[in-house]
Amino acid sequence: MVEARSLSIVLAGDLVLDEPDGAYWLAGIAPALRAADLAIGHLEVPHTICGAELAGDVPAPGAPPENLASIAEAGFAMLSLAGNHIADCGAQGIADTCAGLAACGVAFAGAGQDLAEARRPAIVTRNGRRVALLSYNCVGPEAAWAAPARAGCAYLPIATADGSPIAPTAPLEAMTDAAREILADDIASARAQADIVLVALHKGIVHTPAKLAPYERAVAHAAIDAGADAVIGHHAHIIRGIEFHRGKPILHGLGNGCVVTRALSPSQNHPARAAWAERRKVLFGFEPDPAYSLAPFHPEAVNAMLVRLDYTDDAVLSVSMIAVDVKPPGRPVLAAEPRAGEIRKYLEAITIAAGLPPIRVDRAGRVIAA
């Protein structure tokens, strides 16, 4: 039996690498990823040359398959896949992505050729500890969900306020018993195989500072209650607050890990994507900074972060945020002072603004319940 030692895990949010030379775009955060024993991110889009488009959401284009090697070389060894765009290029796009990640030695969870595969935890061993990752899509669209005989992503059904189908623009409101049962079953299965269980949730309200949807705390707490050691949120493309439940961290939104894409530009030949680029300005009340041509998000999205979880020899956990500044046209870099201090204060402020218990982030980035 291998003796357990200290373990560091660095977590990043959404990864969309539509541009060539993925290594360049990731280089600004790679030192923090490589310094950890394990780095985990969320792969937002399929990496494929398949041109199929799934109906049900504004489809993302397939990203260059060669950028999967760049993701691995930057330090990522594990990725969550369950999100609203992973099925945008259909079953072939998912198959190509999974095969590409396997070829690069990157473990993944949350999508597959059927529901059983999508719900299966990814498990890696580091420093004598087995780490399991489960990944779920909470925001739809339902067409992207895996089924017993259909490729897609793992999901948690969230009730809508008006009974409409689950979709990113639907009024997603309440935790369901079915979601609670999925979490209980899958976390118990993962716990039987691993020492640390992480649950990644694609959830929340996009392009909006601080605000949490009504279901978000309930579903995150349910994951901790079922035995998860940490909950990792992403999807909003802007960072969210951090809370602790039963002493375990809930990262409500990691924001953009590295997103460089032309799919959100109004100047393109794809009508649906061009229309969405214009519509979201009205829906969310912001005009993207033209300097951020590859990351045209809310102005506050330049305040970004990685989060580090440290397990010591006696399994005591500390949580630290690593401040990240997003530089034009969308390249994330590790932030130096005084910019890092501004981002730490921003995290404290949005945590309170979301109605979460206050936290304090010290100069070293350690996150402490206030």
| Chain segment 75-101, per-residue pLDDT in tens | 999 999 999 999 999 999 999 999 999
The tally of CA atoms less than 13 A away on the side-chain side of residue 295 is 28
pLDDT band at 269 (very low <50, low <70, confident <90, very high): confident
List the chain domain ranges.
7-369
Residue 353 predicted with pLDDT over 60: yes
Q: Which residues contact 17 (CB under 8 A, 6 or more apart)?
A: 25, 26, 63, 64, 67, 70, 71, 258, 260
Rounded to 10°, the helix 90-103/67-74 angle is 40
pLDDT band at 157 (very low <50, low <70, confident <90, very high): very high
What local confidence, expressed as pLDDT, does residue 1 receive?
Answer: 44
pLDDT band at 3 (very low <50, low <70, confident <90, very high): low
Residue 247 predicted with pLDDT over 90: yes
For residue 268, the SS3 value is coil
Residue 22 predicted with pLDDT over 70: yes
Cα(79)–Cα(258) distance, rounded to whole angstroms? 13
| Number of helices followed by number of strands (H, E) in the chain | 9, 20
Residue 311 predicted with pLDDT over 80: yes
For residues 177-194, give the mean pLDDT.
98
Asked whether the beta carbons of 155 and 36 are under 8 A apart, the reply is no
Residue 17 predicted with pLDDT over 90: yes
Tokens of 218: 């309930």
Nearest residue to 96 via CA among 45, 134, 144? 45
What local confidence, expressed as pLDDT, does residue 268 receive?
Answer: 82
- State which H helix or E strand residue 3 sits in: none
For residues 112-116, give the mean pLDDT.
98
Higher pLDDT, 278 or 36: 36
Q: What is the DSSP letter of 164?
A: P
Mean per-residue pLDDT of the chain: 95
Asked whether the beta carbons of 2 and 128 are under 8 A apart, the reply is yes
What local confidence, expressed as pLDDT, does residue 57 receive?
Answer: 75
For residues 194-207, give the mean pLDDT.
97
Least confident of 3-12, 219-228, 301-310, 349-358: 3-12
Which amino acid appears at position 331 of this protein?
R
Which amino acid appears at position 229 of this protein?
D
Nearest residue to 79 via CA among 258, 210, 247, 225? 258
Q: Identify the CATH number of the domain defined by range 7-369.
A: 3.60.21.10
Higher pLDDT, 315 or 307: 307
What local confidence, expressed as pLDDT, does residue 55 receive?
Answer: 74
- Strands 122-126 and 129-137, by their bridges, are antiparallel
Helices (H), 54-175: 67-74, 90-103, 115-119
For residues 37-58, give the mean pLDDT.
90
Residue 279 predicted with pLDDT over 50: yes
pLDDT band at 136 (very low <50, low <70, confident <90, very high): very high
pLDDT band at 2 (very low <50, low <70, confident <90, very high): low
pLDDT band at 26 (very low <50, low <70, confident <90, very high): very high
